[in-house]
Amino acid sequence: MATAAADNGLTISSNKSGKPAAKTRRGLTSPIVSYLQAMPLVLILGLFLLLPILTIAMVSFWDYDSVRIYPDFVTFNYTETLGSWVTWKIYLNTFKFTVIVWLLTMFIGFWVAYFLAFHIRSTTMQIVLFLVCTVPFLTSNIIRMISWVPFLGRNGLINSSLIQLGIVPKPLEFLLFSEFAVVLAMVHLYTLFMVTPIFNTLMRIDRSLVEAARDAGASGFQILTNVIIPLAKPGIAIGSIFVVTLVMGDFITVRFMSGGQSASVGLMMSNQISLLQYPAAAANAVILLIVVLLIVAAILRVVDIRKEL
Protein backbone atom coordinates (compact mmCIF):
# COMPACT_ATOMS: atom_id res chain seq x y z
CA MET A 1 0.00 0.00 0.00
CA ALA A 2 1.30 3.47 -0.90
CA THR A 3 0.70 6.71 0.98
CA ALA A 4 1.34 10.29 -0.16
CA ALA A 5 1.46 13.60 1.70
CA ALA A 6 2.01 17.03 0.23
CA ASP A 7 3.60 19.79 2.26
CA ASN A 8 4.89 23.02 0.65
CA GLY A 9 5.13 21.40 -2.75
CA LEU A 10 6.91 18.26 -1.42
CA THR A 11 5.44 14.91 -2.46
CA ILE A 12 6.51 11.87 -0.41
CA SER A 13 5.47 8.38 -1.42
CA SER A 14 6.29 4.97 -0.06
CA ASN A 15 6.11 1.78 -2.01
CA LYS A 16 5.90 -1.83 -0.90
CA SER A 17 9.60 -1.92 -0.09
CA GLY A 18 9.17 0.99 2.29
CA LYS A 19 11.64 3.26 0.48
CA PRO A 20 10.41 6.89 0.29
CA ALA A 21 10.64 8.85 -2.95
CA ALA A 22 10.68 12.64 -2.88
CA LYS A 23 10.28 15.15 -5.71
CA THR A 24 9.79 18.85 -5.52
CA ARG A 25 7.43 20.75 -7.74
CA ARG A 26 10.19 23.30 -8.28
CA GLY A 27 12.55 20.56 -9.44
CA LEU A 28 10.02 19.40 -12.03
CA THR A 29 9.36 22.84 -13.50
CA SER A 30 12.78 24.48 -13.32
CA PRO A 31 14.11 23.03 -16.62
CA ILE A 32 10.98 24.15 -18.46
CA VAL A 33 11.17 27.62 -16.93
CA SER A 34 14.85 27.91 -17.89
CA TYR A 35 14.11 26.96 -21.50
CA LEU A 36 11.22 29.43 -21.65
CA GLN A 37 13.42 32.21 -20.27
CA ALA A 38 16.13 31.51 -22.85
CA MET A 39 13.69 31.15 -25.76
CA PRO A 40 13.37 34.91 -26.62
CA LEU A 41 17.14 35.30 -26.87
CA VAL A 42 17.43 32.09 -28.91
CA LEU A 43 14.76 33.33 -31.33
CA ILE A 44 16.39 36.75 -31.71
CA LEU A 45 19.87 35.29 -32.30
CA GLY A 46 18.46 32.66 -34.64
CA LEU A 47 16.41 35.08 -36.76
CA PHE A 48 18.80 38.03 -36.87
CA LEU A 49 22.23 36.36 -36.62
CA LEU A 50 22.29 32.67 -37.44
CA LEU A 51 19.72 32.68 -40.25
CA PRO A 52 21.37 35.55 -42.22
CA ILE A 53 24.78 33.90 -41.90
CA LEU A 54 23.40 30.57 -43.13
CA THR A 55 21.66 32.37 -46.01
CA ILE A 56 24.89 34.11 -47.04
CA ALA A 57 26.78 30.81 -46.85
CA MET A 58 24.12 29.14 -49.01
CA VAL A 59 24.13 31.90 -51.64
CA SER A 60 27.94 31.75 -51.82
CA PHE A 61 27.62 28.36 -53.54
CA TRP A 62 25.10 29.55 -56.16
CA ASP A 63 25.82 30.31 -59.79
CA TYR A 64 25.24 33.67 -61.46
CA ASP A 65 25.61 35.64 -64.66
CA SER A 66 25.21 39.29 -65.59
CA VAL A 67 21.43 39.12 -65.23
CA ARG A 68 20.42 36.78 -62.43
CA ILE A 69 21.60 34.18 -59.94
CA TYR A 70 20.83 30.47 -60.12
CA PRO A 71 20.33 28.19 -57.10
CA ASP A 72 23.03 25.57 -57.51
CA PHE A 73 26.03 24.11 -55.73
CA VAL A 74 29.26 25.37 -57.27
CA THR A 75 32.61 26.19 -55.71
CA PHE A 76 34.13 28.49 -58.30
CA ASN A 77 33.09 31.55 -56.26
CA TYR A 78 35.64 30.46 -53.66
CA THR A 79 38.25 29.22 -56.12
CA GLU A 80 38.14 32.46 -58.11
CA THR A 81 38.35 34.51 -54.92
CA LEU A 82 41.19 32.58 -53.32
CA GLY A 83 43.02 32.04 -56.59
CA SER A 84 43.21 35.68 -57.59
CA TRP A 85 46.27 37.71 -56.65
CA VAL A 86 44.12 40.84 -56.76
CA THR A 87 41.99 39.45 -53.93
CA TRP A 88 45.05 38.61 -51.88
CA LYS A 89 46.40 42.11 -52.44
CA ILE A 90 43.09 43.61 -51.28
CA TYR A 91 43.09 41.42 -48.16
CA LEU A 92 46.68 42.46 -47.39
CA ASN A 93 45.69 46.10 -47.84
CA THR A 94 42.80 45.57 -45.43
CA PHE A 95 45.15 43.95 -42.91
CA LYS A 96 47.47 46.93 -43.24
CA PHE A 97 44.65 49.35 -42.43
CA THR A 98 43.56 47.12 -39.54
CA VAL A 99 46.99 46.90 -37.92
CA ILE A 100 47.75 50.62 -38.27
CA VAL A 101 44.36 51.75 -36.99
CA TRP A 102 44.45 49.19 -34.17
CA LEU A 103 47.86 50.37 -32.96
CA LEU A 104 46.91 54.05 -33.12
CA THR A 105 43.52 53.62 -31.45
CA MET A 106 45.02 51.44 -28.74
CA PHE A 107 47.72 54.01 -27.98
CA ILE A 108 45.37 56.98 -28.02
CA GLY A 109 42.53 55.13 -26.31
CA PHE A 110 44.71 53.87 -23.45
CA TRP A 111 46.12 57.28 -22.60
CA VAL A 112 42.73 58.98 -22.80
CA ALA A 113 41.23 56.32 -20.53
CA TYR A 114 44.26 56.49 -18.20
CA PHE A 115 43.90 60.27 -17.89
CA LEU A 116 40.19 60.01 -17.12
CA ALA A 117 40.62 57.19 -14.61
CA PHE A 118 43.71 58.29 -12.68
CA HIS A 119 44.15 62.02 -13.15
CA ILE A 120 40.54 63.18 -12.86
CA ARG A 121 39.54 62.81 -9.21
CA SER A 122 35.96 63.99 -9.45
CA THR A 123 33.46 61.40 -10.64
CA THR A 124 31.26 64.12 -12.08
CA MET A 125 34.13 65.53 -14.12
CA GLN A 126 35.01 62.03 -15.34
CA ILE A 127 31.46 61.59 -16.62
CA VAL A 128 31.46 65.03 -18.23
CA LEU A 129 34.76 64.48 -20.03
CA PHE A 130 33.71 61.00 -21.13
CA LEU A 131 30.51 62.44 -22.57
CA VAL A 132 32.60 65.02 -24.40
CA CYS A 133 34.40 62.11 -26.08
CA THR A 134 31.05 60.79 -27.28
CA VAL A 135 29.92 64.09 -28.83
CA PRO A 136 31.18 63.15 -32.35
CA PHE A 137 28.88 60.11 -32.27
CA LEU A 138 25.88 62.42 -32.30
CA THR A 139 26.47 62.77 -36.05
CA SER A 140 26.76 60.11 -38.73
CA ASN A 141 30.03 58.59 -39.91
CA ILE A 142 29.70 60.20 -43.34
CA ILE A 143 29.37 63.70 -41.89
CA ARG A 144 32.39 63.13 -39.67
CA MET A 145 34.41 61.97 -42.66
CA ILE A 146 33.33 64.87 -44.85
CA SER A 147 34.27 67.29 -42.06
CA TRP A 148 37.93 66.41 -42.70
CA VAL A 149 37.81 67.69 -46.30
CA PRO A 150 38.09 71.43 -45.37
CA PHE A 151 41.12 70.58 -43.25
CA LEU A 152 42.94 68.13 -45.52
CA GLY A 153 42.09 69.50 -48.97
CA ARG A 154 44.61 71.06 -51.33
CA ASN A 155 43.35 74.50 -50.35
CA GLY A 156 42.32 73.38 -46.89
CA LEU A 157 43.18 74.81 -43.52
CA ILE A 158 46.27 72.65 -42.93
CA ASN A 159 47.88 73.29 -46.33
CA SER A 160 47.06 77.00 -46.18
CA SER A 161 48.60 77.30 -42.72
CA LEU A 162 51.75 75.40 -43.70
CA ILE A 163 52.26 77.54 -46.81
CA GLN A 164 51.69 80.79 -44.92
CA LEU A 165 54.18 79.75 -42.23
CA GLY A 166 56.73 78.89 -44.93
CA ILE A 167 57.01 75.27 -43.83
CA VAL A 168 56.13 73.86 -47.27
CA PRO A 169 56.38 75.59 -50.67
CA LYS A 170 53.27 73.97 -52.15
CA PRO A 171 50.21 72.06 -50.89
CA LEU A 172 50.75 68.52 -49.60
CA GLU A 173 48.94 66.12 -51.90
CA PHE A 174 48.91 63.12 -49.56
CA LEU A 175 46.64 64.70 -46.95
CA LEU A 176 43.37 64.02 -48.78
CA PHE A 177 42.22 61.16 -51.02
CA SER A 178 45.01 58.91 -49.85
CA GLU A 179 45.68 56.07 -47.44
CA PHE A 180 46.75 58.65 -44.88
CA ALA A 181 43.26 60.17 -45.02
CA VAL A 182 41.70 56.70 -44.67
CA VAL A 183 43.72 55.89 -41.55
CA LEU A 184 43.06 59.33 -40.05
CA ALA A 185 39.31 59.02 -40.58
CA MET A 186 39.22 55.49 -39.17
CA VAL A 187 41.14 56.52 -36.07
CA HIS A 188 38.72 59.39 -35.61
CA LEU A 189 35.72 57.08 -36.02
CA TYR A 190 36.82 54.14 -33.90
CA THR A 191 38.99 55.47 -31.06
CA LEU A 192 36.02 55.68 -28.70
CA PHE A 193 35.45 51.94 -29.14
CA MET A 194 38.87 51.51 -27.55
CA VAL A 195 38.48 54.21 -24.90
CA THR A 196 35.25 52.86 -23.41
CA PRO A 197 36.31 49.29 -22.46
CA ILE A 198 39.75 50.39 -21.28
CA PHE A 199 38.27 53.16 -19.14
CA ASN A 200 35.79 50.66 -17.67
CA THR A 201 38.65 48.29 -16.79
CA LEU A 202 40.85 50.99 -15.30
CA MET A 203 38.03 52.19 -13.07
CA ARG A 204 37.80 48.70 -11.57
CA ILE A 205 41.45 48.62 -10.54
CA ASP A 206 41.84 48.77 -6.78
CA ARG A 207 43.74 51.96 -6.02
CA SER A 208 45.35 50.29 -3.01
CA LEU A 209 47.41 48.19 -5.45
CA VAL A 210 48.89 51.34 -6.93
CA GLU A 211 49.56 52.77 -3.48
CA ALA A 212 51.18 49.52 -2.37
CA ALA A 213 53.46 49.51 -5.41
CA ARG A 214 54.37 53.14 -4.77
CA ASP A 215 55.12 52.41 -1.08
CA ALA A 216 57.34 49.51 -2.18
CA GLY A 217 59.50 51.96 -4.09
CA ALA A 218 58.17 51.35 -7.62
CA SER A 219 58.53 54.21 -10.07
CA GLY A 220 55.64 55.56 -12.11
CA PHE A 221 56.82 53.63 -15.17
CA GLN A 222 57.10 50.41 -13.16
CA ILE A 223 53.59 50.89 -11.75
CA LEU A 224 52.30 51.45 -15.26
CA THR A 225 53.98 48.42 -16.82
CA ASN A 226 53.70 45.97 -13.91
CA VAL A 227 50.36 46.89 -12.35
CA ILE A 228 48.10 49.00 -14.54
CA ILE A 229 48.71 47.58 -18.03
CA PRO A 230 48.42 43.90 -16.95
CA LEU A 231 45.14 44.65 -15.18
CA ALA A 232 43.91 46.64 -18.20
CA LYS A 233 44.45 43.77 -20.65
CA PRO A 234 40.78 42.63 -20.69
CA GLY A 235 39.63 46.12 -21.66
CA ILE A 236 42.35 46.39 -24.30
CA ALA A 237 41.29 43.01 -25.70
CA ILE A 238 37.61 44.01 -25.89
CA GLY A 239 38.49 47.31 -27.54
CA SER A 240 40.77 45.49 -29.98
CA ILE A 241 37.92 43.17 -30.97
CA PHE A 242 35.65 46.15 -31.62
CA VAL A 243 38.23 48.03 -33.68
CA VAL A 244 39.44 45.03 -35.69
CA THR A 245 35.94 43.90 -36.65
CA LEU A 246 34.87 47.43 -37.60
CA VAL A 247 37.94 48.18 -39.71
CA MET A 248 37.88 44.80 -41.48
CA GLY A 249 34.31 45.40 -42.65
CA ASP A 250 34.57 49.13 -43.37
CA PHE A 251 34.09 50.25 -46.96
CA ILE A 252 32.49 53.72 -46.74
CA THR A 253 35.59 55.29 -45.22
CA VAL A 254 37.89 53.68 -47.77
CA ARG A 255 35.68 54.78 -50.66
CA PHE A 256 35.27 58.39 -49.55
CA MET A 257 38.66 59.19 -48.03
CA SER A 258 40.85 57.41 -50.57
CA GLY A 259 39.11 58.92 -53.59
CA GLY A 260 39.04 55.49 -55.23
CA GLN A 261 42.81 55.09 -54.94
CA SER A 262 42.70 52.32 -52.34
CA ALA A 263 40.65 49.20 -51.73
CA SER A 264 39.45 46.96 -48.94
CA VAL A 265 37.52 43.72 -48.68
CA GLY A 266 34.34 45.55 -47.73
CA LEU A 267 34.67 47.88 -50.71
CA MET A 268 35.27 44.91 -53.00
CA MET A 269 32.06 43.25 -51.76
CA SER A 270 30.17 46.52 -52.21
CA ASN A 271 31.33 46.73 -55.83
CA GLN A 272 30.35 43.10 -56.44
CA ILE A 273 26.87 43.75 -55.06
CA SER A 274 26.48 46.82 -57.29
CA LEU A 275 27.33 44.57 -60.26
CA LEU A 276 24.73 41.99 -59.12
CA GLN A 277 27.45 39.46 -58.34
CA TYR A 278 25.76 38.36 -55.13
CA PRO A 279 27.27 34.83 -54.90
CA ALA A 280 30.80 36.20 -55.31
CA ALA A 281 30.10 38.86 -52.66
CA ALA A 282 28.65 36.18 -50.37
CA ALA A 283 31.77 34.05 -50.79
CA ASN A 284 33.95 37.01 -49.85
CA ALA A 285 31.68 37.67 -46.87
CA VAL A 286 32.11 34.09 -45.64
CA ILE A 287 35.89 34.27 -46.04
CA LEU A 288 36.01 37.63 -44.27
CA LEU A 289 33.86 36.27 -41.44
CA ILE A 290 36.22 33.31 -40.99
CA VAL A 291 39.26 35.60 -40.98
CA VAL A 292 37.70 37.94 -38.41
CA LEU A 293 36.68 35.00 -36.20
CA LEU A 294 40.24 33.67 -36.32
CA ILE A 295 41.61 37.08 -35.28
CA VAL A 296 39.08 37.31 -32.44
CA ALA A 297 39.92 33.75 -31.35
CA ALA A 298 43.62 34.67 -31.28
CA ILE A 299 42.89 37.72 -29.12
CA LEU A 300 40.75 35.67 -26.74
CA ARG A 301 43.47 33.04 -26.50
CA VAL A 302 45.99 35.64 -25.38
CA VAL A 303 43.70 37.54 -22.97
CA ASP A 304 40.88 36.16 -20.87
CA ILE A 305 38.05 38.68 -20.99
CA ARG A 306 35.50 36.70 -18.98
CA LYS A 307 36.19 38.77 -15.88
CA GLU A 308 35.24 41.89 -17.79
CA LEU A 309 31.96 40.57 -19.17
Average pLDDT for the chain: 86
pLDDT at residue number 13 = 44
Give, as one character, the DSSP assignment of residue 275.
T
15-19, 30-34, 120-124, 235-239: the lowest-pLDDT one? 15-19
Query: pLDDT tens-digit profile of 194-228?
Result: 999 999 999 988 889 989 999 988 888 999 999 99
More confident residue, 9 or 231: 231
| Contact call for residues 105 and 190 (beta carbons, < 8 A) | yes
Report residue 138's pLDDT band, with 50, 70 and 90 as the boundaries: confident
Is residue 27 over pLDDT 60? no
Count CB-CB contacts under 10 A for residue 230.
8
pLDDT at residue number 283 = 94
CATH classification number, 85-302, choose in 1.10.287.610, 3.40.50.1000, 1.10.3720.10, 1.20.140.10: 1.10.3720.10
As a whole number of angstroms, the distance between CA 202 and CA 135 comes to 22
Helices 85-114, 229-249: crossing angle, 10 deg rounding: 140
Query: pLDDT tens-digit profile of 180-189?
Result: 999 999 999 9
Average confidence (pLDDT) over 169-187:
90
pLDDT at residue number 242 = 94
Domains of the chain by residue range: 25-54, 85-302
pLDDT at residue number 29 = 59
More confident residue, 288 or 153: 288
Average confidence (pLDDT) over 151-166:
88
pLDDT at residue number 166 = 87
